[in-house]
């Protein structure tokens, strides 16, 4: 069966378990798996389709900007200006020094929102390049990039949840490791794609 949509994924999980008894917990299994993809301390999923960008107009009344939907991790923040896109410099929250004067911010930090060191003087456009969480699967959103390109992440993550649910701890431990291995493989594939081919090494030889 092709793991190309929400319902096929659930049917495949039923087939792998050999029981229809898990049908009532499959939505929870998928939802928890999606949270674990990004909210764990072992290996977060950071693949190319999750790398995105959005633009917003800053406020001249406050030094805060809402994070874009499904925000996970910042890559770059820059102004969108005619002929130039200067990048802002990140500062940890404890090191961002707030200034009382208005002007174009040069520094920012990320908490539950984007915070600048000063209130912008003009309502200019800023571009946020970031890693985003995937749009969760459900009856309306039938597929996403992770299910299309890395269905093993969903399968292993859901089976980890299912085995935990039925207190099959040895099996759960196995699928936990497979889940992280699947994420690591997806991340490695993404990272390789970010770089060009390795330059050929040339050696000089003496010709008799």
pLDDT at 132: 87
126 Cβ neighbours under 8 A, 6+ residues apart: 55, 56, 57, 58, 65, 77, 78, 79, 80, 88
Mean pLDDT for the chain overall:
90
What is the Cα–Cα distance from 135 to 72, expressed in whole angstroms? Answer: 12
pLDDT at 63: 97
pLDDT at 200: 46
What is the Cα–Cα distance from 138 to 105, expressed in whole angstroms? Answer: 40
Residue in this structure with the two tokens 């633009």, named with its chain if needed: 55
Closest CA to 171 of 44, 32, 16: 16
Q: For the chain, what's the residue count?
A: 208
pLDDT at 113: 97
What is the Cα–Cα distance from 168 to 37, expressed in whole angstroms? Answer: 21
Q: Determine what percent of the chain falls in helix, strand and coil, rounding each to the nearest 5.
A: 40, 20, 40
Per residue in 63-115, pLDDT tens?
Answer: 999 999 989 899 999 999 987 899 999 999 999 999 999 999 999 999 999 99
pLDDT at 20: 81
pLDDT at 202: 46
Every domain of the chain and the residues it spans: 6-47+150-191, 49-132
139 Cβ neighbours under 8 A, 6+ residues apart: 6
Beta bridge partners of 65: 114
Per residue in 121-163, pLDDT tens?
Answer: 999 999 999 988 888 999 899 999 999 999 999 999 999 999 9
What is the Cα–Cα distance from 193 to 5, expressed in whole angstroms? Answer: 26
pLDDT at 84: 84
Long-range contacts of 5-10 (CB under 8 A, 24+ apart): 5/142, 5/143, 5/147, 6/30, 6/137, 6/138, 6/139, 6/141, 6/142, 6/143, 6/147, 7/142, 9/137, 9/147, 9/151, 9/154, 9/155, 9/158
Question: When comparing pLDDT for 72 and 178, which is higher?
Answer: 178
């Amino acid at each position: 069966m092709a793991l190309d949509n929400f319902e096929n994924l659930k049917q495949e999980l039923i087939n792998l378990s050999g029981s229809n008894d898990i049908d009532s917990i499959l939505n929870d299994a998928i939802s928890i798996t999606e949270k674990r993809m990004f909210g764990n301390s072992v290996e977060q999923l950071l693949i190319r389709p999750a790398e995105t960008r959005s633009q917003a107009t800053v406020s001249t009344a406050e030094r805060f900007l809402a994070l874009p939907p499904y925000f996970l991790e910042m890559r770059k923040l820059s102004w969108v200006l005619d002929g130039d896109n200067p990048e802002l410099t990140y500062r940890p929250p404890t090191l961002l020094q707030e200034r009382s004067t208005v002007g174009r911010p040069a520094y920012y930090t990320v908490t539950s929102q984007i915070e600048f060191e000063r209130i912008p003087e003009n309502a200019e456009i800023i571009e946020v390049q970031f890693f985003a969480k995937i749009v969760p699967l459900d009856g309306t959103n039938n597929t996403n990039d992770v299910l299309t390109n890395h269905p093993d992440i969903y399968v292993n993550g859901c089976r980890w949840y299912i085995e935990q649910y039925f207190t099959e701890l040895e099996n759960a431990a196995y699928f936990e490791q497979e889940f992280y291995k699947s994420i690591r493989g997806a991340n490695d594939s993404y990272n390789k794609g970010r770089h060009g081919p390795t330059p050929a090494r040339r050696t000089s030889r003496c010709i008799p």
